[in-house]
Amino acid sequence: MKSHMMLHRRTVLAGLIATSLTPYFVAVARATEAQRGGTVTFVAWPGATVLNAAVTTAGPSTLVSSKLFDGLLDYDFGFVPRPQLAESWEVSEDGLRMTFRLRPDVKWHDGAPLTAADVKYSMMEVWKVHNARGRNVFAEVTDVETPDDLTVVFVMSRPSPVIIKALSAMDSPVLPAHLYEGTDPLTNPHNTAPVGTGPFKFVSFVPDESVVLERFDGYWQQDRPYLDRMIIRYIGDGATRTAMLETGEADLVASNGIPSLEIDRFRSMDGFEVNPDGYENVCIVCQLDFNLDVPELQDPRVRKAIAMVIDKEWLVRNVFFGLGVPATGPIHHQVAEYYTTDGVPSYPLDLAAAEALLDEAGFPRKADGVRLELSIDPQAFGEEPLRAAEYLREQLRTVGITLTVRNQDFATYVKRVYTDRDFQLNIFVAGAGADPTIGTQRFYWSKAFQPGVSFSNSTHYSNPRVDELLEATQVEMDPERRREQFAEFQKLVMEDLPTVPLVSTIRVTVANAEVRDYVSGAIGVFGGMANAWRA
Amino acid sequence: MQPGQGNDEQGEGVSPFLAILGSPAARFLYRRLSQAVVVMLVVVVGSFVLLQFAPGDMVDVLAGEADLTAEQMADLRARYGLDQPWPVQLLAYMGRLASFDLGYSPKLAAPVLDVLLQRMPVTLTLVALSVVISLSVGSFLGVMAARRAGSLLDMTISTATLILYATPGFVVALGLIFFLSVKMRWLPTAGLTTVGADLRGMAWLVDVARHLVMPVLALCTSYMAIYARLCRATMLEITSLDYIRTAWAKGLPERRVIFTHAFRNALLPLVTMAGLQVSALLGGAVVVETLFGLQGMGRTAFDAVMERDVNMLLGVLFVCSFAVVIVNICIDLLYVWLDPRVKVAA
């Protein structure tokens, strides 16, 4: 809707300029008007395993899947729902029924019409069963009613405020029931050669090499997509991905897909754009977890002392190259609806106070000047966790704590921290999602302490009041009350400090400036990109 | 077996076909191939056991990437047999291997054999091109240097090869990318073809060739230097031998003395080295493959280790060890052809 109006304004403007100004300005004005045709190439790593994000939440899959499939809804900036497959929707007074009116005349890429049965199948057989995030988000959905071909009603056992935020093409793509019913959705061959309703249709997929998509001429949105083709290439080396952007062999790198230092270089390079818009669904926080089963770390004074040796600004500048802001609590600042610093305790850099706390906690400096010996496991995912761990090692040395950095590969890290719980400190980056109930909750909810499950509650934090608050937010439909609950949650977590939130990262797309309107809402390049075009 | 029986006796009444089977060359092949089976078994069992020592399994990796629940993880482990003790898993794998079933790679959502068939040609092309080019250019430089030992040409070649030898492949690769792709825009940076261009025939061949220039160069340089230095040293040694003096004394032209008489013998150490190069590159071109976005055997094996994708890793190792064994047999046969004094031992 919004983009339509913007285009209209531009056209009018172009017309005005054309009648009054010199040809030079006409050319400039025309160049901002969307044009049909052209190819846009992403370069990314790692490669997608399947191209259907209904059965996985892995980032590489969602990048491709969102072009091939539609969701019921799309989201404008600020995560405001807007129509996609659903033209309109309403929630009943008691919050137990959500009714969606589907757009008529939507076709699958194979020509079959989209019906309410497709949505019912996707919800009951796939999202709720095979999608890790969907299992939590749609836990309250007990049934889907389809009174007619174009009406879908979600029936819930309890109200659930997060459902309305989880219906994008990125999170919950609607699958074709006629191709999936009666099969195992996890091994259905269409997962690697999808048939969707999205703006682009599948052409080819070579694992770890490339995906080729082409314009779906029968797309429900008139004159969309603008592009003829979209290509996603998988290249394992960051320097090579950077070179491909520079040479024009690739146009877009999503979600900080090249080294941070290189991103910094593109900021000042002609013909390129570093764009932070469209990551409202990602919200990644880099945090330092304490294993609360380790006796030394059970004393809050020790945890607070460790927090007080960290200069978060320094981390932002030198480890994240400006791609983040100091984290003040468990909720990412881009989750603006619930984020607050009001009354939330903070632990600014203060080495003397840290030493005093450690003395008080009964860890005086011994003859060799050492108070404590600890170890840290940085997550093997990008450079940042390891660099942050090395920084922490140097900082802790000055207050008499010897920190051993244990570097390892991803599988070893996951097993050690989440299955064996053989760790003391742990630095990791984790996506918190558009709503704290979707992403943040599991790090602090005592019921999410599940050894063996990765990126669950790894600290073994348990505070009955926090549990109570988190459980209340799962069903609270009143935005104001929900905001208050999350505010108290942020305060309590920072008082207890099971985790030191370090940096709320900022994700960016690095783009060739010839590509326009590749971000037209909250989920940015992880959406269908029907509005993207090439100048 | 009783004496006088079996096809190792070339007695009367034995058909010509059996005579061939019993020939020394055939027995050489039997012996080498049965050794190959043992080698491949050791490689497969050894790497399977080694991978068991690495903490975490494939499901841990998948779970870390896609937020799986405990039930989903248990379900996946059961589906791929990872909940079994490792000796059971190994036996099951060996059983499947006996019927040439290399299994399924959940990570790549494809049968291992399909992935190998698709990626093996990439590796074979890279290996073949870089061996042929480094061997021919290297030995040519070596011969040239040896021909006028101590001359300016010799010094230049020796210095250049020393520098090439000392420069790691990845530095060469990054330098090539920076200069030929980013600065000059002459060559495509990565991949094997222009994705989505749907080229056919000659146009396709030219496209692939343009993509291969830099990776092949990066794989060539240090081996080229080795061949050049090896060839120079051997040529200098050989050209001081009596039979070369005889050849000169006969009044043969320089070209014949050097290439027909001396170089043929100088080839023996070069062929040995080429065998090593082929074996090293078959699975070991990880860095170059990564930098140029080529999915060859090396990169596939590396990813398989990181993702604990046992089937994929064993598949790669199985095929690569087979190829190495075959290459070694070919090299041995090449010795016989190059030097008539060498005989295959039965």
Q: How far apart are CA A233 and CA B190, in angstroms?
A: 10
Question: Dihedral sign, CA of A505, A510, A516, A518?
Answer: negative
Question: What pLDDT, on a 0 to 100 scale, did the predictor assign at position B345?
Answer: 63
Q: Above 50 in pLDDT, residue B5?
A: no
Q: Is B292 exposed, middle or buried, given 0-12, 13-18 or 19+ CB atoms closer than 10 A?
A: buried
Q: Do domains A2-194+508-534 and A284-505 have the same CATH topology?
A: no
Are residues B65 and A58, on separate chains, in Cβ contact within 8 Å? yes
Helix residue spans in A321-419 (DSSP H): 351-360, 384-398, 410-414
Question: What pLDDT, on a 0 to 100 scale, did the predictor assign at position B4?
Answer: 41
Interaxial angle between packed helices B169-176 and B201-238, expressed in degrees from 0 to 180 and rounded to the nearest 10: 140
Which residue type occupies B68? Answer: L
Q: What are the helix and strand counts (H, E) for chain A?
A: 17, 21
Q: How far apart are CA A341 and CA A343, in angstroms?
A: 6
Check residue B49 and report its DSSP letter.
H
Question: With bands split at pLDDT 50, 70 and 90, how would you rate the model's confidence at B344?
Answer: low
Which fold is adopted by the domain A284-505? Answer: Dipeptide-binding Protein; domain 3 (3.10.105)
Distance set, CA A473 to CA A335, A358, B271 (Å): 15, 36, 72
Cα A498 to chain centroid distance, Å, stands at 23
Q: Provide the β-strand partners of residue A285.
A: A430, A504
Q: What are the helix and strand counts (H, E) for chain B?
A: 15, 2
Tokens 């009174």: give the residue: A147
- Residue A87 tokens, joined: 């033209």
* Residue A409, H or E segment: none
Q: Per residue in A379-409, pLDDT tens? A: 988 889 999 999 999 999 999 999 999 998 8
Q: Residues A276, A278, A284, CA angle at the centre, nearest 5°?
A: 75
Check residue A251 and report its DSSP letter.
-
CB-nearest to A247 from B115, B185, B192 is: B185
CA nearest to A373, candidates A398, A406, A401: A401
Q: Is B28 helix (H, G, I), strand (E, B) or coil?
A: helix
Question: With bands split at pLDDT 50, 70 and 90, how would you rate the model's confidence at B36?
Answer: confident
Q: How far apart are CA A123 and CA B2, in angstroms?
A: 73
CA nearest to B224, candidates B134, B286, B293: B134
Q: Residues A133, A137, A139, CA angle at the centre, nearest 5°?
A: 110
Instruction: Assess whether the previous peptide bond of A46 is cis (omega < 30° from 0).
Output: yes
The residue of chain A with its CA nearest to that of B182 is A247
Are residues A237 and B195, on separate chains, in Cβ contact within 8 Å? no
Q: How far apart are CA B56 and CA A420, in angstroms?
A: 10
CATH number of A2-194+508-534: 3.90.76.10
Q: Is the pTM of this model over 0.90?
A: no
Ranges in chain A, pLDDT < 70: 1-32
Q: Above 90 in pLDDT, residue B97?
A: no
CA distance B113 to chain A (A): 14
Q: Above 70 in pLDDT, residue B3?
A: no
Are residues A132 and B107, on separate chains, in Cβ contact within 8 Å? no
Q: Which residues of A touch B109 (CB under 8 A)?
A: 49-50, 191-192, 207
Q: Per residue in B43-93, pLDDT tens? A: 888 888 888 888 888 888 887 776 777 888 888 888 888 888 888 988 888
Q: Which residues of A touch B188 (CB under 8 A)?
A: 247, 249
Q: How far apart are CA A509 and CA A5, in angstroms?
A: 25
Which residue type occupies A171? Answer: D
Classify each residue of B77-93 as buried b or exposed e, where b means 16 or more C-beta atoms within 10 Å of its C-beta.
beebebeeeeeebbeeb
Are residues B66 and A249, on separate chains, in Cβ contact within 8 Å? no
Structural domain boundaries of chain A? Answer: 2-194+508-534, 284-505
Q: Per residue in A286-319, pLDDT tens? A: 999 999 999 999 999 999 999 999 999 999 999 9
Strands A151-156 and A141-148: antiparallel
CA distance A140 to chain B (A): 17
Q: Above 60 in pLDDT, residue B7?
A: no
Q: Per residue in B207-219, pLDDT tens? A: 999 999 999 999 9
Q: How far apart are CA A290 and CA A503, in angstroms?
A: 16
For chain B, list the domains and their CATH numbers. Answer: 110-170+218-338 (1.10.3720.10)
CA distance A258 to chain B (A): 13
Q: Which residues of A touch B77 (CB under 8 A)?
A: none
- Residue A428 tokens, joined: 């990791």
Q: Provide the β-strand partners of residue A202.
A: A213
* Residue A311, H or E segment: none
Q: Residues B111, A409, B299, CA angle at the centre, nearest 5°?
A: 45
Question: What pLDDT, on a 0 to 100 scale, did the predictor assign at position A187?
Answer: 86
